[in-house]
Amino acid sequence: MAVRQEEFVLNMGPQHPSTHGVFRIVLTLDGETVVKADPVPGYLHRGIEKLAEARTYTQVIPYTDRLDYLASMLMNWGYVQAVEKLMGIEVPLRAEYIRVIVGELARIASHLVATGAMASDLGGLTGFLYTFRDREEILDLFEMVCGSRLTASYMRIGGVAKDLPEGFVPKAKEFLKKFTLSLAEYNGLITGNEIFQRRTKNVGILSAEKAVDMSLSGPVLRASGVGHDLRKVRPYSIYPQFEFEVPLRTNGDCFDRYYLRVLEMAESVKIIEQALASLPEGPVMAKIPRIIKPPAGEVYTEIESSKGIMGVYIVSDGSPKPYRVHFRRPSFINLGYLAEMVRGWKVADVVAILGSLDIVLGEVDC
Amino acid sequence: MKQLQGCADMENSLELIAFFLLAGSLLTGALMVVTLKNLVNSVLSLIVVFFSLAGIFILLNADFLAAVQVLVYAGGVCIMLVFGVMLVQRKDMRESNPVNRRFLIAAPLTGALFLLIGLVAAKSPWVKEAGEVPENTIEHLAPILLRDYVIPFEAVAILLTVALTGVLLLVKEVKDNGRSS
Amino acid sequence: MDDISNVSKITEPVQKRILAKIAAAHPEINVSEAGHLHVPVDSLTAVMRDLKENFGFDYLSNVTAVDYLEYMNVVYDLCRVGTPYMLHIIVRIDRENPVVPSMVPLWGGALWQEREIYDLLGVIFTKHPDLRRILLDDTWEDHPLRRDYQWMSGRD
Amino acid sequence: MLENIFVSSLNWLKNLMAAVELPAPLADMLILVIKLAAILGFILINALWLVYMERKVSAFIQGRIGPNRVGPFGLLQTTMDVLKLISKEIIIPAAADKKLFLLAPLMIFVPPLAIFAIVPFGKGMAAIDLNLGVYYFVAMASLSTVIIWMAGWSSNNKYALLGGMRVVAQMVSYEMPLILSMIGVIILTGTLNMNGIIQAQEKVWFIFLQPVAATIYLIAALAETNRTPFDLVEGESEIISGPFTEYSGMGFAFFFLAEYANVLLVSVMATTLFFGGWLAPFGWTFLPSWFWFIFKVYIMVFIFMWVRWTFPRIRVDQLMGFAWKVLVPLAIANIFLTGLGKYLFLS
Amino acid sequence: MIEFALNYAWLVPLLPVLSFLTIVFLTRPWARLSSAVAIGAMLGSFLLASSLAWGVFTNPAFIEEPLHYSLRWLGMEGFTVNAGILIDPASAMMLFMVSLVALLVQIYSTGYMKGDPHYSLFFAYLSLFAASMLGLVISSNLLQMFIFWELVGLCSYLLIGFYTYKVSAREAAKKAFITTRIGDFGMLLGILFLQIQFNTLDLLELAAVIPNFAQLGVSLGLLTLIAILFFLGPVAKSGQFPLHVWLPDAMEGPTPVSALIHAATMVVAGVYLVGRMLFLFVEVPGSLTVVAFIGAFTALFAATIAVTQREIKRILAYSTVSQLGYMMLALGVGSLSASLFHLWTHAFFKALMFLAAGSVLHALHNKADVWEMGGLIRKMPITGWTFVVGGLAIAGIPPFAGFWSKDEILLVTWEYARHGHALGYLFFAFAALTAFLTAFYIWRLIFLVFFGPEKANDHVHESPLSMTLPLLVLAVLSGVAGLIGTPWTNLWSTWIHFGDAHSGEPAYLLMLLSVVLALAGIGLAFILYCKDQDKQAARSLAKKYPALYNLSYRKYYIDEAYTWFTRKIVDGGAKVIYLFDIYLVDGVVNGLAALTKGSGQGLKYLQTGKLQTYALIFFLAVLVLTVAFNLDSANALAHLGGVK
Amino acid sequence: MFGKGLLKGMKITMVRFFKPKETVQYPEVRLPLPDRFLGKPEFYYDKCIACNQCVAACPNNVITLKTETVEKKKIVTQYYFDQQYCLFCGLCAEACPKDALKFTKDFELTQYKRQDIKLKFVNPEQVAKKKAEVLQAALEKQAAQEKQAAQEKQASADKQIASEKQAAGNEAAAGVC
Amino acid sequence: MAGALNPSYFVVLSAALFTIGIYGALSKKNAIAVLISIELMLGAVNINLVAFNKYFTPEAFSGQIFAIFVITVAAVEVGLGLALIIALCRRRNTTALDDLDWLKW
C-alpha cells in the first residue's frame, strides 16, 4: 500500500529471524519499498586472522572450521591447501579422494541449509526441516569420520587426520541413494511451488557484468550465467578425474540462485559416487616434518567452497607460526553487493534476496 | 392477563434500559469523537458510536439496517478513515485533533439548536400508527428496495462506482517522472 | 594425478607468457621469481586499468594487506573469469602514511574488501566512496591486524 | 438420546426456571447468558486444543513428534503454556498508546464470540437463530481488522505498524471475495439464515454445486485468518510478528488464541456453507448431528493447517493482485453463472 | 447489390467513419488489426462505390436525373438546411475513383508505414480522410459539402504533419492549413451569399434557381462576387497559381498521403467543386475566363518549376499542380467532361507515380534527391516499370490514359479558341507547351532515377508485395482508364457533361501534335539525362542560363514574396491596429476593470476562505430564522412539530 | 498451470504426515555414537609420560600440565583441562604419543557450577602411587640398604602432597570467584 | 404508559447526536475530524428516519430504505472526502481546514 509522505527507517537486525545470524541492515523504506539499505556486519567478528598469527600452522585448522561453519570441511581444505602449496607438499592420492568426498558432502550440507533457509525465509518452514533432516545424515557421516558434526578439523597439512572408518563407504552410498529421492521432494515442495516461484522469479536480478564487477562468486555468480567454478576452471586436487557438470542459470534472480544450489547438489552427488567407487588404498598423510616450518614467502590459493571462492593468503617468515593469514571469504564479498541488490524491492524481497545470497555470518565477520 | 401485563411492563422497562444504555454509549462515544485530542482515538470511538447506532436500530426493529450499519460503517468507513489518518498524519499523533477558536461560538450555537429541537420534540403530540414493524424485515425490505425503489437503488450503485473511480483518480500518486503509479 | 599435472602443464607456460607480456608492457613492474608482480604505488591505477582492459583480468578476487613493521604491502589477486590464470600483485607502501588508490572505480568488488583492510590495518584508500570501519565498532581505536597492536586482555 | 443431549438439558434448565417462577424475560436472558458462556467455553477450549493440534500437525508433517511431555501425548502442553503466559509480566512499551494497547487483546475475542452466537452447532443448536445469519457474520468479521490494526498502531513499533497496515490492506481486500463467494450459496438457498442454508444442503452439499465459490471461500478465509500463505501480517521472517511484536504474556496469548478462534470460525462457516453443516453424510445419523458438525469443522481446520505447513508466504503486492485480479472477478463470474443456472434450472 | 448500393449510398462514407472510430477507440494498440479494420472498411466502401458506379453508368436514367436523397438537418426560422446525398455520374465516378485509390493506398501503406509507432493512427487518419472525401463527393448540399471540405483539410493537415517530430513536417502542415484557409474563407463567404440570396444551398435547387438570378433580384455584380469568392476555395485547395505554395511543401507527409490526398483526391476536390458549380460560373461572363486563365497559367508555371526541381516528390507535386491547372483550364473553357476525364486519369497515373516514388524512397531510406539516384530499374523492376507506365501516361503517349484526357483538353481548348475566344489561342499555347514540359520533366525524373548508371545504393531491393501490388493495379489502370474516353468510344462524355454532350470527332492533327510534343519532351530528356552519362549538357544548360534556372529552381521566388509580404505589409498593418488596441480599447476596458476591482477590493474581506466560518454563519442563520418565523405565532412549537 | 505445484507440495506433506517420524525422544532413546566421537576428554594417568606435546598441540591453551621430576623421571602431578575453552578439535589426542588422552562418547558436558567445567584429571592418590612406583623402582635399583634414607624421603613426599592439596583447594576457591 | 418508548426519545437522541456533530464540524481544525463529525450528523438523521419508520409507517419501510441510501451516500462521501483530503495533503502538506483558504480574496 502506498504509505507515502515520509520515508522511514527500519532497523532490520541484528536480532532478526531472517538475517541468518547476527547481522543488521538499516533499511530506509518508502511504504514497503526499500529506498536505501545499509548493511552493518561485524557482530560476529572474532579476529581469526589475528588469532592465527599466534598459532602454529596446524593449530590454525580448528579456527578455519569457524569461518563457514556450515561447510567446515571446505574451509579446512582451503587452508591446508595453501600451506601445502607454500611448502610444496604432495598429498597422497587416498587423502585427496577423502578430501573430495567429505568436501562435496560439506557442499551438499551447506547447500541444504541454504535451500531450507530460503524456504523458511519465505515462510515455508516445512522445507527447512526437510533439508535439515538430510543434513543431519551428512553430519552423522562427518561424525563418523572425525568425531565432530559441525566443526570438523579433519584435514591436516599433508593429508587428513584419520583414514575413513569402517562402514563409512556403505553408509555414504546409502545416503546418496536416499538423497536423490530427497532432492525430488525438495523440488516438489519448494522449487515447484508456484508461490515460491512468484516470490523468487525476477526478484533481485543480478546481471553477469555486475556480478563479475563486484567479485561475486559461487552459486551467486553462476546463477547470473558466468561459468566460473574453480573445480572446472582452475582444477585443484583431483577434480579433473571426475565427470560432473557446472550448472548454470542465466536470469540471475533469486529463483536461479536457489535452484542452482539444488542442481549443484545433484552434481556433488555424482562426484561423491565416482569418488566412492574408485577410492584407492594407501596412506592418508604425506611425510611431513614434525614441526611445520614453511619457507619464507607468500602464497595465495583458492578453492571453490559452497558459498563461492574461498581464498587463503599466507605469509610465512620461516617460523612455525604464520606471519599473516588472510581468508578471502566468499560470503563477505557476496554480501557487499546486498545494498545495491535490495534497492527498489519490497521488505519481503529483502529477505528473499538475502536468503538467496546464502551468507554465513561466521564467514562474513571472520 | 395480569401476567401478560407484567410481561409487557417488563419488556418495556427492558427496552428502556436498553435504550438508555445504548443512548448513553452513543452520546459518550460521540462526545469522545469531538473532544479527544488524538485523532486515531477519535476514529476508534467513532466505531463505538456506530455500534451503539446499530443497537438503536435493532431497538427500532431494523435489524437489517443494523447489520448494514456495522458492515458499512464499522467495517468499512472506519477502516477507511483510519487509513486516511495514517496517510495524512504521520508525525505527532497525540495532538492531531485540535479545536479552533470558533468553538466559542459553535458551542452555544449548537446548545441552542439542541434546546430548540428538544423542545419541539418534547412538546409534539406524537400520533402513533397502529401497525407494527414486521418481524422478518429483510423479506419485506428486499421487494421494496428492488421494485419500488429500484431507480434510486441503481442511481446509488452508479454513484458508488463513480465515486470509487473518482477516489482512485484523486489518490493516484503522480510519480516524479510524470507517470502515475 | 596425471590429469592434474597435465592441467598445470598447459596453464603454467601460458601464465608465464602473460607475465612476460605484462612485464614488457610495464617496465616499472618487477616480476619476482615466484611470479608475483611488484608494482610501485604511483603507477598502480594505470597498471590495474591496463590489466583489466587490455589483459582481460576482469575479476578482482582478493585484496588484502600485510604489515611488515617497516613497510606495508597491499596485495591484489586478479583473475580472468572462466580461465585459470591469476596475477598476484604486491604494492609496497609507506607504513606511516599508508595511502593507496582505491580500486573501487575499476572493480566494485573492492568496496568491502578495502573497507575491511582500512578497518583492520589502517590502510587509507583514496577515492573510496565509503571508507568506514566495517567489522569493528566505529569507536574502535587503532587497527588490530598491525603487528604491533597490543590487546588489552584475553587469553592470547 | 445423544442427539438431543444439549437441547434437552437446556430445556430442563428452562423448566427449572419456570418452576421457580422466574419472570419470562429474565429467564430468557439467563438462558442466553448460559448459552453464551457455553460458547465462550467452547471457543477457548477449542482454541487451546487447536494450538496443540497445530503443533502436532506441523510436527507430523515435518517428521517430528511434537509436544509429548505434559500430560498424555502432551495434551496439556498449551494449557501449561497459557498458564505460563498468564504468570508473565505484561510489558507496555513506553511510547505505546496504553489504553489501546491494552484494549486490543481484550477486544480481539469479541468478533468470534459474537459470531459463534449464531452458529448452529447441531440440529436446533444455535444460541440465536438469526435471520440475517451470513450477513451478520460478514458484518462482524470485518471488525477484527480494526482490532488488529489497533494493536499494531498502539504498539508504536515500526514492525507493528507495517503489520497493522498490512492487516488493513489484506483483510479489506479479501473480504470482497469472501462475501462474493458466499453470495453464490445465498442465491441457491434464497436465505441468509444459517440453519436454512444447512437444510438446503440435505440432498447435495454446496461444495458440489459451488466448487468455485468454495475454493474462493477457502482461499479468502486463509487470508482473513492471516494464515500461510497469506500470513503477511505476522510474517515472522520479515516483520518479526507484525502487530503482535510488542505483546508479551497474556496479551500475546490472547492474540495467539484468537487466531485459532478465527480459524475455527472460518472452518465453521465453510462447513455451514459448503459441507452441509451438521447434516450427516450418507445418512449416517447414528451419530448425533453436533458430532458431525464438529467432525467436519475439524477436517476443515486440518486442511487449513495442512496448507499452512506446506506453502511459503506470498508477497504484499502479489497478495493484493491475487485478490483483486483473480478472486474477485472469478467470484463475480461465479455469481453470474449461479444466477443464470438458477434461472435456467430452478425457475 | 446495385440496388442495395443505390439505396444505401450513404454507407460508402460511413464505413470509413466506423473504421476510424473503431481504430481510435478500440484497436489502436494493435497495429495490424487496425490496418485490417481500415482496409476492410475501405474494401466495403469500394465494393459499394463500384456497384453504385456500375448502376449509375449502366442506367441512362441516372445520367439525366441524379439520385437525390435528403432529409432535414438544420432548421430554424427562415433557414432550413437539408442534408443528403446526390448521386450523378460525376459523383459516382468520384466515389469509385476515390474509394479505389484510397483502398490501394491503404494496402500500400501497410507496407510503407510498417514499424511506425503511430501506425494505427495513420490508418485512422486515412479512414477519416476517405470518409470525408467520399462525403464531400456525395454531398447534396453546399453547407454539408463545406463541412466535409473542411474535414478533408483537417485530415490533410493531420497527415502532412504526421511525422510530428520533423520540424519541416509541422511547418508544412501549418502552411497547408493556413493557405487553404484563405480559400475556404472565400468559399464560406460565397456559400453565405448564396444562402442569403437564394435561400437554399441544395445543389439541385441552386442549379435550378441560379439561371434565373435576374428574376430573383440578384445583381450580376453580386453573382460575379459570389463566383470569384467561390473560386477562391478551389484555387487554394487545388493549388492554383497564387495559392499553390502549400502543395509542394505538403510532400513532407508520408508518401501514401501525398499519393492519396495531394495527387489523386483532395486536391481535385476544387476541380470537382468548380465542376459542380459550373452552373454558377456560366452565368457570370468572364468568370470562366478567369478560371481558364488561372488554370492555363498554373499549368505552365508549375511545369517550368518542375523542370529544375531535385526532390522526387517535389517534382511530382509541381506536376500535380500543373495537371490541376489543366483541369481548371478545361473547366474554364467550359468542358466539364474533359476536366473530369483528366481528373479521372490523372488520379490513377499520379497516384501510381507517387506510390512508386514512395517505394523508391522507402528503399533508399528517404534519400530524395534525384541526382543521387540512378539505375534503380534493375533493382526495383516493378516499381521502375510501373513508374515508366505512369510516365508514359502523363506524357500523353497513346494509348495510355493521359493521352486521351490531355488530348481532350487540348481539343476543347482549341475548339474554344476556334469559337471566337481570342485568349483561347494563348491557352492552347500554354497547354501545348505544358504538354511538352510535362513529358520532359517526368522523363527527366525517370531517366535520372531509374536509368543511367547505378549509384552507390547497395542495399536497395524491391518493396514488399503490399506495396507493389497497388502499383501494378494502378499501372494497369493508367494504361486502360483512358479507353473509356477515346474520341471513338466516347462513353465518358455521354456520361459526364455539362450542357450538351460533347460529340467530338477525332481530331487527328491535334493528336499528332500532342504525341509529337510528348515525344519531343521525352527525347530531350533522353538526350540530356539518359544518353549523356555525365549530364554535362544539363549542367551546362543550367550554368548557361543561371537566371532562368534559378527562377525555376527557386519556384519564381513566390515563397519569398509571400514571406516578405507577411513580414512587411501584414505585420505593419497589425502594428497600427495593435497600437489602437492597447491605447484606446484597452484604456476603456481597463478603466472599467479598475472600477470593478476597486469595489471588489473593499468587499473581498468578507470572504475569509474558511469553510467552517461559512457553515457557522449558515447554521446561525438557520437558527435565527427558525426562531424568528415561528415564535410569533402562539402555537408555533406545536405547529413545528405537528406530525400527524 | 497455477495450482499444480501447490497440489504436489500438499501431496508431499500429506505423505510425510503418515510416515514414521525422524526424531527420537532423547533422554530415553539415544542414537549410537561413532567411535571417533569427540566427547568429554579422558586422561589415562598411567600412560602419560609428561611429554607436554598435548599442551603444545592445543591451539587454545586449554591444557595445563604440572610435572615434578622424581628421580630424573617426570611425574605428572596435575593435569588441568579447561573445558570451557576447548574447541574439541582433537589435536591434543592426536599429538599424544602414548594415547594417554582420549575423547570419550560422553557428550553431556553441562555443569551446574563453573568450576566443575575445569577438569582435573589427576588425583593425589594416583600421584602418590606413581611416585611410589617410581621410587620403588629407584629403590629396587639402589641398594636395599638405604632403607633409612628412603623412609625420610617418603615422609617428605607426604608433606608435599598435603601442600599440593591445599594449593588445589585454593585454586578451586579462586575459580568460584 | 410512561415506560414505553415513544418517538420523542429518539428525536431527542438524534438531536443530541446531530448537535454534537455540528459542534464537531464547526470547531475541529483537522479536516478528517470534520468529516467524522459529518458522519455523526448523518447517523443522527438515520435515527430519525428509522424511528419515524417504526412509529408512523411501519409497513411501508420508507424510512429504512432512506436510511440505507443515506448510509450508502455517506460511505461515498467519506471515500471522496478522504481522497480529497489526501490529495490536498500531498499538495499542501496540511490537513487543517483553516489553511485551505487560498481561494480567498
pLDDT per position as a tens digit, E338-390: 888 888 888 888 888 888 888 888 887 767 677 777 777 777 888 888 888 88
A205: amino acid identity, one letter: I
In one-letter notation, the amino acid at residue E215 is: Q
Q: What is the structure's pLDDT at A313?
A: 92
Does any CB of chain G come closer than 8 Å to the CB of residue E642? Answer: no
Q: What is the pLDDT of residues G18-73, one digit of tens each?
A: 888 888 888 888 888 888 888 888 989 988 888 888 887 777 788 888 888 888 88
Residue G69 C-alpha, separation from nearest chain E C-alpha, in angstroms: 23
Chain F closest-CA separation from residue A140 CA (Å): 9
Q: Which residues of A touch F90 (CB under 8 A)?
A: 146-148, 153, 161
CA–CA separation, B154 and B146 (whole Å) = 9
Give the pLDDT score at E643.
43
State the angle between helix axes of E167-198 and E220-237 in degrees (0 to 180), rounded to the nearest 10: 160
> For D144, which residue in chain B has the nearest alpha carbon?
B75
Please report residues of G whose CB lies closer than 8 A to that of E619.
22, 26
- Helices of type H across G28-103: 31-55, 62-92
The answer on pLDDT for A56 being more than 80 is yes
Q: Which SS3 state, helix, strand or coil, does residue E473 take? A: helix
E89-112 helix and E11-22 helix, angle to the nearest 10 degrees: 20
Task: Tell me the shortest Cα–Cα distance from G71 to chain E, in angstroms.
Answer: 23
The alpha helices in chain D, defined as continuous H runs, are 5-19, 24-61, 77-87, 98-107, 110-116, 133-141, 143-155, 158-189, 194-199, 206-209, 211-224, 236-239, 249-274, 289-308, 316-321, 328-341
Nearest-angstrom CA–CA distance, B60 and B69: 13
- With a CB-CB cutoff of 8 Å, which residues 287-316 of chain A face chain C? 297-298, 300, 302, 309, 311, 313, 315
The dihedral formed by the CA atoms of G71, G76, G81 and G82, expressed in degrees to the nearest 10: 100
Tens-digit pLDDT profile for residues B17-44: 888 888 899 999 988 888 888 888 888 8
Instruction: Say how far apart CA C77 and CA C86 lie, in whole Å.
Output: 7
As a whole number, mean pLDDT of residues A222-240 equals 87
Q: By the CB < 8 Å criterion, does E603 face chain G?
A: no
Q: What share of chain E is helix, strand, coil (3-state, %, to 5)?
A: 75, 5, 20
Instruction: Kindly report, residue by residue over C24-77, the tens digit of the pLDDT.
Output: 888 888 888 888 888 888 888 888 888 888 888 888 889 999 988 888 999 999
Domain ranges within chain B, ordered by starting residue: 1-104, 136-181
For residue C39, what is its C-alpha cell? 608494482
Chain D residues inside the 8 Å CB shell of A199: 312-315, 318
- Of A55, A148, A197, nearest to F88 by CB-CB distance is A148
Element holding C92 (H helix, E strand): strand C86-94
Beta pairing, strands F101-103 & F41-43: antiparallel
A228 close to A237: Cβ distance less than 8 angstroms: no
Bridge-based pairing of strands A159-160 and C124-126 is unpaired
Query: Which among E411, E394, E414 has a CA at the least distance from the CA of E486?
Result: E411
Cis peptide upstream of residue D229 (ω within 30 degrees of 0): yes
Class level of CATH domain B1-104? mainly alpha
Nearest-Cα residue of chain F relative to residue A149: F37
> Under DSSP, is residue B52 helix (H, G, I), strand (E, B) or coil?
helix
Q: Is residue D5 part of a domain?
A: no
Contact across the interface for B109 and E640, Cβ inside 8 Å: no
Q: Which residues of chain F have pLDDT under 50?
A: 176-177
Give tens-digit pLDDT for E552-562.
Answer: 777 777 777 77
Nearest chain B residue to A4, by CA: B87
- Nearby residues of C150 by Cβ (< 8 Å), 6 or more positions away: none
G11 at B interface, C-beta within 8 A: yes
Q: Identify the helix (H) or strand (E) that includes residue A102.
A: helix A93-121
3-state SS class at C31: strand
Mutate which: B11, B79, B139, B181, vs D, most D CBs within 10 A:
B79
Q: Least CB-CB distance to F9: which of A60, A165, A193?
A: A193
What pLDDT, on a 0 to 100 scale, did the predictor assign at position B181?
A: 36
Q: Which pLDDT tens digit goes with each residue over A98-118? A: 999 999 999 999 999 999 888
Residues of B in contact with A31 (CB under 8 A): none
C-alpha radius of gyration, chain E, whole number: 30
Binding partners of G (≥3 Cβ pairs within 8 A)? A, B, E
Instruction: Decide: helix, strand or coil at residue E69.
Output: strand
Averaged confidence pLDDT in chain E: 81
How confident is the model over C86-116, as pLDDT tens digits? Answer: 888 899 898 888 889 888 888 888 888 898 8
E643: Cα separation from own chain's centroid = 75
Of D61, D65, D68, the CB nearest to F13: D61
CA–CA dist E633, F61 (Å, integer)? 109
Query: pLDDT digits over A270-320, tens only?
Result: 999 999 988 888 888 888 888 888 888 888 999 999 988 999 999 998 888
- Mean pLDDT confidence for D101-108: 87
Least confident window among A187-196, D110-119, E104-113, E214-223: E214-223
Whole-number Å distance between alpha carbons of A23 and F1:
38
Residue D66 counted as domain residue:
yes
Spatial distance between the Cα atoms of E491 and E47, rounded to a whole number of angstroms:
22
SS (H, E, C) chain F: CCCHHHHHHHHHHHHHHHCCCCCCCCCCCCCCCCCCCCCCEEECCCCCCCCCHHHHHCCCCCEEEEEEEECCEEEEEEEEEEHHHCCCCCHHHHHCCCCCEEECCCCCCCCCCHHHCEEECCCHHHHHHHHHHHHHHHHHHCCCCCHHHHHHHHHHHHHHHHHHHHHHHHHHHHHHC
In order of E396, E398, E435, E516, the CA distances from E512 in angstroms are: 11, 10, 13, 6
The one-letter amino acid code at G31 reads A
Residues 6+ apart with CB under 8 A from C22: C29, C31, C37, C51, C55, C87
Most confident residue range from A1-15, A131-145, E513-527, E618-632: A131-145
Going by the DSSP 8-state scheme, the letter that residue A294 receives in this structure is P
- Confirm whether D30 is domain-assigned: no
Residue E219 has which C-alpha cell? 445583381
A225: helix, strand or coil: coil
| Interface size, chain A vs chain C, as Cβ–Cβ contacts under 8 Å | 114
Facing B84 at nearest CB: one of G1, G53, G85? G85
Cβ E293 vs Cβ E544: under 8 Å:
no
Q: Is the CB of residue F17 less than 8 Å away from at least one CB of chain A?
A: no
- Alpha carbon distance A119, A259 (integer Å): 12
Q: What is the pLDDT of residues D246-293, one digit of tens each?
A: 888 888 888 888 888 888 888 988 888 888 888 888 777 778 888 888
Spell out the residues 6+ positions from residue A211 whose beta carbon is closer than 8 angstroms to its own: A220, A221, A224, A226, A252
DSSP string, E335-357: -HHHHHHHHHHHHHHHHHHHHHH
Longest dimension (CA), chain E: 119
Phi, psi of E42 (to 5 degrees): -65, -40
Q: How far apart are CA E270 and CA F135, in angstroms?
A: 140
- The stretch D55-79 carries a mean pLDDT of 86
- As a whole number of angstroms, the distance between CA D148 and CA G2 comes to 44
Of the residues B34, B104, B117, B124, the best mutation for testing chain E's interface (the one with the most E CB atoms within 10 Å of its CB) is B124
Chain B 63-82, residues with CB within 8 Å of chain D CB atoms: 63-64, 67-68, 70-71, 74-76, 78-79, 82
pLDDT for the residue numbered A111: 92
Interchain CB distance below 8 Å, D228 and A123: yes
Instruction: Return the half-sphere exposure (C-beta side, CA atoms, 13 A cut-off) of residue C12.
Output: 8
Read off the pLDDT of residues E57-71 as tens digits, 9 standing for 90 and up: 777 666 667 777 777
Taking the CA of residue B52 and the nearest CA in chain D, the distance in Å comes to 14
| CA atoms of D238 and F122, how far apart (whole Å) | 53
| F156 lies within 8 A of chain D by CB | no
Highest mean pLDDT among A292-306, D227-241, E265-279: A292-306
List of chain A residues whose C-beta atoms are within 8 Å of the C-beta of residue G90: 4-5
Q: Looking at residue E631, what is its pLDDT?
A: 62
Residue C156: its chain F contacts at CB < 8 A?
Answer: 61
Above pLDDT 90, what percent of chain E?
A: 0
Q: Which residues pair with F118 in a beta bridge?
A: F82
Q: Least CB-CB distance to F103: which of A61, A147, A151?
A: A147
Tell me how many domains chain D contains: 1
B/e letters for E104-130, b = 16+ CB within 10 Å, e = fewer, are bbbbbbbbbbeeeeebbbbbbbbbbbb
| B130 at interface of E, judged by CB pairs closer than 8 A | no
User: Residues 72 to 91 of G: which have CB under 8 A from any A CB?
Assistant: 89-90
All domains of chain G in start order, with CATH: 7-99 (1.10.287.3510)
Question: Searching chain D, which residue's CA lies closest to the CA of residue B79?
Answer: D146
Check pLDDT > 60 for residue B174: no
Question: What radius of gyration do chain B's Cα atoms show?
Answer: 22
Residue D161 covered by a domain = yes
All residues at 6 or more sequence positions from E111 whose CB lies less than 8 Å from its CB, including other chains: E362, E463, E464, E465, E466, E467
Q: Is residue D22 part of a domain?
A: no
Helices (H) and strands (E) in chain B, counts: 7, 0
Q: Which pLDDT belongs to residue A2?
A: 40
- Mean residue pLDDT of chain A comes to 87
Share of chain A above pLDDT 70, in %: 98
Contact B84, G86 (CB under 8 A): yes
Q: Which of A3, A17, A195 sits opposite D229 (nearest CB)?
A: A195
Grouping H, G, I as helix, E, B as strand and the rest as coil, residue A260 is helix
Q: Cα B45 to the chain's mean position, in Å?
A: 12
**Nearest in space to B74 (alpha carbons), one of B96, B97, B45:** B45
Average pLDDT rounded to a whole number, residues E96-109: 88
**Residue E495 or C81, more confident:** C81
Reading across the β-sheet that carries A33-40, which strands appear in turn? A8-12, A24-30, A33-40
Q: Does pLDDT of E503 surpass 60?
A: no
What residues are paired with A27 via a beta bridge?
A: A10, A37
Q: Is the model's pLDDT at E167 over the cut of 60?
A: yes
Q: Residues E499-523, buried b or exposed e (16+ Cβ, 10 A)?
A: eeebebeebeebbebbbebbbebbe
| Domain residue limits at D178 | 47-346
Chain G residues within 8 Å of chain E (Cβ atoms): 22, 25-27, 34, 52, 56, 97-98, 100-105
Mutate to test the interface with G, among B133, B139, B164 (most CBs of G within 10 A): B133
Radius of gyration of chain D from its Cα atoms, rounded to whole angstroms: 21
D154: nearest Cα among A31, B76, A10, B38: B38
Helix axes E423-450, E312-332, angle to 10 degrees: 160
Please report which confidence band the pLDDT of residue E534 belongs to, taking 50, 70 and 90 as the band edges.
Answer: low
Q: How far is F56 from chain C (nearest CA, A)?
A: 14
Residues 6+ apart with CB under 8 A from E549: E308, E541, E542, E543
> Which residues in chain A have Cβ-Cβ distances shorter than 8 Å to B173?
2, 4
